[in-house]
Amino acid sequence: MARKFFVGGNFKMNGSKASIKEIVEQLNAADIPDSAEVVISPPALYVHWAEKHLTNDKVKIAAQNAFPKASGAYTGEISASQIKDVGADWVILGHSERRTIIKESDEFVAEKTVHALENDLGVILCIGELLEERQNGETVEVCTRQLKPVVEAVKDWSKIVVAYEPVWAIGTGLAATPEDAQETHAAIRKYLSEKIGEQADGVRILYGGSVNGKNAHTFNDCPDIDGYLVGGASLKPEFLDIIKSRS
């Protein structure tokens, strides 16, 4: 099954109105290939602003988090319906920084995923192992453990994109070799095939460990790597090089 190339840009807690304006203007002017689907994720304060100023219809907006309730006394949180209300179409859930710093459990990430899907948001679902877990040979075990509550709770995976992000490669400048990344992606797809059947063939699995303009093309021949979730490089002009790396 053909899976459309997907590039997500996670700005994390970076940027100002001025710097995000520059990025949006670059994307508006860019000749983005029809073969690529692009989503950018600015900090929550700038989601609405970015959506209002983005004129390139090949680029969509994601929030970086969502709470699994429609409304209520949840200070500091935002709901899926509020994200939709300001024009965003996607949300990033389960990022390693949420799991390790905020201590979100696999079950809580699954609850968020269900709520986001119920509100018609696409979900970029992040999974990945710590360095110690990788050294202990637990990569696949960790990834499948993180996926398990979502598999048990979600029947329709058509609006989920899985992002495999080895935590040891995020922001370190280190990246898995294409061979290692493909091996992990293939194991993730095998697990999904066992749990959700033929749907797994259509689920896009992104690689997200220090992808940049120079190394993105090295993953092109990996059959189970369907795109990238980009961190720091999404704030730089080289983000366009990543978007065009398969055109």
Secondary structure (DSSP) of 86-103: TT--EEEES-HHHHHTS-
* CATH value at residue 163: 3.20.20.70
Whether the per-residue pLDDT at 130 is higher than 70: the answer is: yes
Q: From the CB of residue 177, how many other CB atoms can be counted at a distance below 10 Å?
A: 10
In this structure, what token pair is assigned to residue 130?
Answer: 């710590």
How many domains is the chain partitioned into structurally?
A: 1
Structural domain span for residue 237: 5-243
Catalytic center residues: 95, 165
In this structure, what token pair is assigned to residue 231?
Answer: 């961190």
- What are the angstrom distances between the C-alpha of 206 and each of 9, 30, 34, 216? 12, 22, 18, 12
Q: What is the pLDDT of residues 156-177, one digit of tens each?
A: 999 999 999 998 887 777 778 9
What phi and psi values does residue 99 have, to the nearest 5 degrees? -70, -40
Predicted TM-score of the model (pTM): 0.96
Q: Which region among 1-5, 22-26, 211-215 has the lowest average model confidence (pLDDT)?
A: 1-5
